[in-house]
Structure 1
Amino acid sequence: MKQKLTLILSSWAALLLLSGLFSNTAHAQSDQRTKDYNNNGWYMYIGDHKVSDKWSIHTEVQFRRYNIIKDPQQLLIRPGINYDLSPTAMITLGYAFIETHPYGDYPAAGIFPEHRPYQQLQLKGNLGRVGLTHRYRLEQRWIKPANATDYTYLNRARYMLKATLPLAGPTLEEREPFLAVYDEVMIGFGENVRKNIFDQNRLYAALGYKISNTATLELGYLNQIVQKASGDVFEHNHTLQVTLFHNMNFARQE
């Protein structure tokens, strides 16, 4: 138990250190930091659907809106193929399509697309009553700005640590509420990265409800800090996040 607690505390400390280190480095490179405050709403469906004992299909759609729900911000579609290494470890190979619209006080020149293959490792465990998820993701990003004639290639690494706490008992059962928190840091790397090596940080807290053994709903607040490619503009996005998780089992039952 002490070893698990030490590992979790070390992971949170590493997240905070990375976030602070890259944010402060970016700040030191610029004499003045411009802040852009936005109010967004992200409405999401996420599912992992088993097709055999080891294999499953990841499905994900996110409708991201500016001004909570009034204006478009992003459309994200992210399918993938999962393979269970063990009951607590899963790898995923997938692809995401993102369409981003101009928003905020420092908008893009127009609507632009992004094509994003990704590779992911997800580890799950428990610390007493608390459920823990570690997610490690690598992304290869092809982005075509609205005023560009060709795509720009970028790399990004992401790490997320999420904790869930049942509120009605020692374990989370059907028709019971829970609390969820996570922090995710994103780091850009490679020759085309400009001044935003620290890409963004996401800090999240939510109230959840387990609808059934296959479905859960989370309603939460996401504080997102995004450093623009110029390195001078930082978005501070206050985001309502609504997520439906729905995992179906299409595998043949023995």
Structure 2
Amino acid sequence: MTTGIVKSHADSDFQSWNALALAGDADDDGKWQFWFDGHLRFKDDASRLGVSIIRPGVGYKLSRDTTLWFGVARVTINSDNGSIEEDRVWQQATYSLNQFMGGTVSGRSRLEQRFRNDEGDDTGYRFRQFIRWSKPLNEQWSMVIWDEVFFGLNDTDWGQNSGFDQNRLYVGPAYRLSKNWRVEMGYLNNHIALPGNNPDAITNHNLALTFFGSW
């Protein structure tokens, strides 16, 4: 099940995805962490709001390289048939991986439980795997490539399908605004599977702008 950003049966779209992400220490020794990300995604050639997301969470740092997280999310989808509200509970692990081609590699593995009580009673389980590569170019600029793949783990009465759901591939620069802030603006390719074993797919071309704050 896609997130309501599809215009019709097999249309593709140009979209503008904008986000703010915050993370950092929630206590003095840095074991407990806080997480927040908020999103505004504009569809139909970036002319109107399609999806908004608010996603807070808390984490516990197991080591310098690995943190476990728990959180919730509220997703509002503005579809052609009206507004759809989706609630989520999520768990994830974030971790650092090996160096590759002069850059750092990190990962995120997330499990979501999705609820759309106005459309059905089932809980949708979905797994998301994210891998990010970043290479500094100088003190302020770096190059970023990341990919995230989504898999539905079950079918629901409100429309989620098991199996491959979508893939997101991002390429673009990052600029460090200050010690605690950076901004990334680049191209995000969103490849979405259609339901019912349909061999067609939708590919949306997105301009992605994200501000990151860390403490």
* TM-score computed with the length of structure 2 as normaliser: 0.86
Who is 1:235 aligned against?
202
Deviation at 1:110, TM superposition (A): 1.9
Residues of 1 paired with 2:46 and 2:147: CA distance? 24
Structure 2 counterpart of 1:115, from 47, 65, 87: 87
Who is 1:224 aligned against?
190
Tell me the alpha carbon deviations over residues 2-50 of structure 1, each in whole angstroms, 9 at most, x when there is no partner.
Answer: xxxxxxxxxxxxxxxxxxxxxxxxxxxxxxxx63211111110001031
> How many aligned positions are there?
201
Task: Supply the RMSD in Å over aligned alpha carbons.
Answer: 1.9
User: Contact 2:142 / 2:174 at 8 angstroms: preserved in 1?
Assistant: yes
Residues of 1 paired with 2:84 and 2:160: CA distance? 19
Tell me the alpha carbon deviations over residues 42-82 of structure 1, each in whole angstroms, 9 at most, x when there is no partner.
Answer: 11000103122211210111011113532011000000001
Larger helix proportion of the pair: 1
Who is 2:13 aligned against?
38
Residues of 1 paired with 2:34 and 2:160: CA distance? 35
Deviation at 1:245, TM superposition (A): 0.3
Deviates more, 1:122-131 or 1:190-199: 190-199
Who is 2:6 aligned against?
none
SS at match of 1:219: strand
Who is 1:9 aligned against?
none
Matches within 5 A, 1:139-150: 139-144=112-117, 148=119, 150=120
Structure 2 counterpart of 1:190, from 123, 132, 154: 154
Structure 2 residue 50 is matched with structure 1 residue 73 = yes
- Gaps in structure 1 of 5+ consecutive residues: 1-33, 249-254
Percentage of matched positions with identical amino acids? 27
Answer with 1 or 2: which has the greater Rg.
1
* CA distance 1:77–1:194, change in 2 (3 Å): closer
Deviation at 1:125, TM superposition (A): 3.8
* TM-score computed with the length of structure 1 as normaliser: 0.74
Matches within 5 A, 1:138-217: 138-144=111-117, 148=119, 150-168=120-138, 173=139, 176-192=140-156, 195=161, 197-217=163-183
